[in-house]
Structure 1
Amino acid sequence: MQNELKSAIRFNDFVAYFGARGVVVMAWWLGAAHAARIREDQNSFPFLQIVGAAGSGKSLLVDYLQKLNGQSPCSHSLAHATQAARARIYANAERPIVICEQHGEPDQPFDWDELKPLYSSGTFISLAGADRTEGATFKGALVITANQPLECSEAVSSRMVWIDLSAANANTPRVRPEAIGDLNAGEASAFGVKVAQSEDWIASTLLVQVPAYQGQLISKYGENLNRRTALNCAQMFVLLDLLSTLLSIPDDLRIEAGHFIHDIAILDTIPY
């Protein structure tokens, strides 16, 4: 079954193009399918920020991931949307939604702090009419792509895990982009089906194993490590383990992917 699933999503080609960084992103995507359940259990699920210069593969990566859910590629802009439009995006999200930060002046100022409730309870304020508001619940997960890291508060950045596709040690693709770009969404959706059937396994494993990983990270990096970052990274390590089991990922690739999660924790401990 593992080999059939890997073949259906062209996993080996995916790794040949994106390397271990791609595996980290796929691990987050695995958890994002059940973000609402994870937030219910642990009161948090991190946002994912994918950073990279034009041509680094951001669109190719998120388009591929959306096909794993049987979705057609789709992205939104928050900075160029009205408050009412943003509320509709949050309220209608049942799966991971992709936010593409666009260049140019936004139509109106946008404060990234607006996203903070989507990390924890998922409850946010929705405009119900000209003179009234009502609460709504965000059931999806949030991916943000940008050429440069977002200019946002520490309160927002600490709610994110990030992957830089333009880093000096970024993976050099060993296949052409078409190797994964023309992946058939119908075939790739076998991943989404399997993940949907695995909700209890994913959620229960996170509940059991996250505290141990969190403790290890705090012990390793000390008091300078933000506790929210420690939780984010602990969740990512468990999701990486789950993905490795689901797809029978080799230990060397899993360990390499883990280094990028450690990088997130290390960066958090560096004084600005």
Structure 2
Amino acid sequence: MTTRQRGRGILLTSGLAIVLAVVGLPFYWLVVASTHSSREIFDSPPPMLPGGHLLDNLNTLQESAQFGRVVLNSLLIAAVYTLCAGTVCTLAGYGFAKYRFRGREAVFGLLMLGLVIPAQVTLVPLFRMMTDLEWLNTYQAVIMPNLALPFGIFLMRQSMGALPDELLDSGRMDGCGELRLFLRVALPPMKPALAALAIFLFLYQWNDFLWPLLVLRDGGSFTIPVALASLQGLDETDYGAILAGTSIAALPMAAVFLALQRHFVSGLLAGAVKE
């Protein structure tokens, strides 16, 4: 290794270390602050070592927000949403990519308008719809409205577009039905894209705050973002408990990403280059 190559390696390592410190420091302080009381959090300088109030903060979370049940609510809603929305987005993406029908591009273009229209625009009609269906304060009110997520359909359409049509035609010539063709031929090569879609959908639902805030009324049915927001009082806020809850909320997201990370980048790039 030459002196120039060694210098580049040292420079690159130093730069990555600085980036890691900048990105990781807020998460480190989040975990540390969750072990301190609200008074200690606002000390100057702020605490940088773990304290002794973690159990107190967790007890406050459980007593004030039924946090154990809230975590289960969020896990259930996010898991069911990921499964259902993933199915809808994958089927829609496959249909737009591999079937020719009149008005296909126009329908897809209208669907993509959902990427530029603010979600707040649809809150009132969706809320009225949930009221008419008598779905307020139910899990389906949180899960159902966003199953056909435009970005998810776009991602799967681009990924399915890279699948050779000849592969599907050979399956049809062998007598394979359309459903079996989709399950046995089209889906297996799409594992990276499906992993990327699953990560996106899970994080999208896990972090959603505004819509669950509108349709969930009972504290026992709250999701984590709504439950943490309910801990903010007008006169006093227990920031130690809120930061402890935020630390817990970050664990499933990290677990999902770490489990599927090797497919994530390749899934996002699938279909980006045409041969």
Q: TM-score, normalised by structure 2?
A: 0.25
Bigger share in strand: 1
Bigger share in helix: 2
**Computing the radius of gyration over CA atoms, which structure comes out larger, 1 or 2?**
2
Q: TM-score, normalised by structure 1?
A: 0.25
